[in-house]
Amino acid sequence: MAPNRGKRHQPKSRTACLTCRKRKLKCGEERPHCQRCLKAGKMCEGYQMLLIDGAMSVSGRVWTVPPIDGVCISGSASSLLSAFTATADEWQAYRLYTQQISSTLGGPFSLDADLWQRLVLQISRHDAAVRNAIFTLGNFFRHAVQESNNGQMSTCACRRCVQALRSYNRAIAASFAEQSSANVKDDPVALNAALTSCALFICIEFFRKSDRNAIALIDRGCGMLLQSLRQAPQDLQTSRVDPGLWNLFARLRVLSASFGHAGQWQMSPLGNSAPRAIREPLPPLSDRLERARNSLYDILTAALRLRRRCAETLIPMWPSKRTCVVESVHELRHEKNLVVSRLRMWYEHFMGLQTILESAPRESPSSSLPALILYGHFLQTKIYAETSLELSQGRYDQYLSEFQTVIRVAERGLRQSLAGDQKYVQMFSFESCFLGMLYLCTLKCRQPTMRRQLIDLMRLSSEKEGLWHRGESITVASRVMELEEGRSEFIPAIGTLTRTATPLFHDVLCEINYVADGRTLVDVTYVLHQERTAEHEWLAMKETLVVVDR
């Protein structure tokens, strides 16, 4: 009789990766990925996180999770699993991100929450750049909560900021090392990791108010996506990138273009077919809101392109180019009609979505707040698209009802967003919510009472919404009011103002703000159009404003 060759019982390994432990196989314990899993075509889930006291050697592991200063958190240490070890400070920063920061970055839209709360944490288990970026955000947020002034975190020498900058330097170094060693364009895993680290870097630059760096990073992320689109087969172009990342960078591209930076991914007009989000059936409510946003951002892309082309065509108006200009105006009018038509189509479908929301037994804030944000962006885009070819500023008086609706929408939305005890929401928002639309409406609404209501609502917005600064927006809008109401004199660089009425600006152009002598400054150019009978049809005045968050 053959001897019993059954497997001998061996104690379970505590250092194997999670995948090998589930499969009950011997693990090679390579970091960050187990080679046995990779050779078998399995996804290595990483290793259980080990907390290391920064003052101890690597072998001195501590399993007690220290409480985060001033923050009550729930959950056990074993609930966070990863392929890395961390110091006590890094652990606290990581836990703060998982428990509070990620939900703040996600905002009211469900797919955003999935991106920041699921995908980022999943990739951080094996990607050093993403992991260290999380440590950076955690320490910067802890600094902002504890300090009254978080405007100059890049030069702050406090313990939190020093730790954050060290982690940020490690994250940047890891990102460059990974992208130079891995073929990002051919490896979907590496591509998603690179885009995720880029998104976190953008968030860090947004938060510490380094907008030039943020815009450069947006351009870099869009460049990676564009390269992937060009090199991947048609049927694999979108499947290679996580949908949350894809939509995130599409919105960031629009945000950057709103500040005059088109970047590598050029703005394109709307095609002849209906937008995907309008064509397809939209079963779940959260998916409908998400697709409505994606569709609206497609139209926003075309509307921004239209505004820029109109400015380039109309403002110079040199006699030698008159024929070319007339041809361009006809093209622009056709493009404008297409954008306005798509906006109207979007609004019809959105009203059906609103009916579903209002007929619900109990209106969910998680659904109504995204709807309010979308409606406000639609109204502001509608005003700017329909007036893109107008030279007379009196045209905006026809939109007083739209401006009043924006005020009502923002009042309701800001009340909802500030209802919970979320100190981070008042301080920072990664996505553009109400601040940008309120600022743009303030520039064109000349009714004094409504204009002041818009500025009052801006004061209730987050201190920073992406590239939008609350202090800068209020400072510029208040200065425009002073000039247009005649409380300050408009002195153009060339030419004179011929009419006796107060100036109404065709456009207000703001450059990226900067810091000098401890003050935040912004260079602003006010562009004014006069009648063609005047000696100078276009006048401009440029000045530097000191940003005050009032």
CATH number of the domain bearing residue 40: 4.10.240.10
d(CA 157, CA 277): 48
The answer to whether residue 363 sits within a structural domain is no
Judgement on whether residues 34 and 150 belong to the same structural domain of the protein: no
pTM of the model: 0.79
Q: What residue numbers bound the domain in which 144 lies?
A: 87-265
Judgement on whether residues 43 and 123 belong to the same structural domain of the protein: no
Task: For residue 145, give Cα distances in angstroms to 92, 122, 149, 460.
Answer: 14, 27, 9, 18
Judgement on whether residues 252 and 204 belong to the same structural domain of the protein: yes
What is the pLDDT, as a whole number, of residue 360?
56
d(CA 258, CA 301): 9
Judgement on whether residues 26 and 146 belong to the same structural domain of the protein: no
Answer for the pair 55, 100: CB distance below 8 angstroms, yes or no.
no
Q: How many residues does the chain have?
A: 550
The answer to whether residue 175 sits within a structural domain is yes
Q: Output the DSSP codes for 306-343.
A: HHHHHHHHHTT--GGGHHHHHHHHHHHHHHHHHHHHHH
What the block records as the tokens of 249 is: 């960078």
What is the pLDDT, as a whole number, of residue 495?
76
Tokens 């955003």: give the residue. Answer: 112
- Is the dihedral angle over the CA atoms 349, 351, 356, 357 positive or is it negative? positive
d(CA 401, CA 399): 5
Per DSSP, helices labelled H in 108-231 are: 110-114, 120-124, 128-146, 159-181, 188-207, 211-231
Judgement on whether residues 36 and 126 belong to the same structural domain of the protein: no
The answer to whether residue 255 sits within a structural domain is yes
Q: How far apart are the first and last CA of the chain?
A: 91
What is the pLDDT, as a whole number, of residue 34?
77
Judgement on whether residues 135 and 27 belong to the same structural domain of the protein: no
Side-chain-side CA neighbours of residue 462 (13 Å): 27
- pLDDT tens figures, 385-415: 999 999 888 899 999 999 999 999 999 999 8
What the block records as the tokens of 89 is: 């400070």
Answer for the pair 178, 129: CB distance below 8 angstroms, yes or no.
yes
Identify the CA nearest to 110 among candidates 256, 261, 286.
Answer: 286
What the block records as the tokens of 210 is: 């380094």
d(CA 380, CA 365): 22
- pLDDT tens figures, 96-108: 999 889 888 877 8
Domain end (from 248, 265, 282): 265
The answer to whether residue 239 sits within a structural domain is yes
Judgement on whether residues 140 and 250 belong to the same structural domain of the protein: yes
Answer for the pair 224, 241: CB distance below 8 angstroms, yes or no.
no
What the block records as the tokens of 461 is: 């917005």
What the block records as the tokens of 498 is: 């011929």
What the block records as the tokens of 350 is: 């959105």
Judgement on whether residues 133 and 28 belong to the same structural domain of the protein: no
Q: Is the peptide bond before 32 cis (omega within 30 degrees of 0)?
A: yes
Tokens 């009254």: give the residue. Answer: 148
Judgement on whether residues 33 and 100 belong to the same structural domain of the protein: no
Judgement on whether residues 25 and 122 belong to the same structural domain of the protein: no
Domain end (from 242, 265, 288): 265
Structural domains counted in the chain = 2
What the block records as the tokens of 29 is: 């314990």
Domain end (from 206, 234, 265): 265
Show pLDDT as tens, one digit a residue, over the chain (550 residues): 455 554 455 555 667 888 888 888 888 777 656 778 877 777 777 666 443 333 333 333 333 333 434 333 333 333 444 456 778 888 889 999 998 898 888 778 877 888 998 999 999 988 999 999 999 999 998 888 776 555 566 667 788 888 999 999 999 999 988 877 766 667 888 899 999 999 999 999 999 889 999 999 999 999 888 888 777 655 555 567 888 899 999 999 999 989 887 655 554 555 433 334 333 443 455 678 888 999 999 999 999 989 888 888 887 644 444 445 555 888 899 999 999 999 999 999 898 887 777 665 444 444 588 899 999 999 999 999 999 999 888 899 999 999 999 999 999 999 888 776 556 567 888 999 999 999 999 999 999 999 999 999 999 999 999 999 999 999 999 999 999 999 999 988 887 777 666 789 999 999 999 888 888 999 999 999 887 656 778 889 999 999 987 6
Judgement on whether residues 97 and 42 belong to the same structural domain of the protein: no
d(CA 474, CA 41): 55
- Residue 250, burial from CB neighbour count under 10 angstroms (0-12, 13-18, 19+): middle
The answer to whether residue 511 sits within a structural domain is no
Identify the CA nearest to 407 among candidates 475, 463, 456, 468.
Answer: 456
Judgement on whether residues 24 and 112 belong to the same structural domain of the protein: no
The answer to whether residue 443 sits within a structural domain is no
The answer to whether residue 291 sits within a structural domain is no
- Provide the 10 A C-beta neighbour count for residue 157: 7
The answer to whether residue 149 sits within a structural domain is yes
The amino acid at 256: S
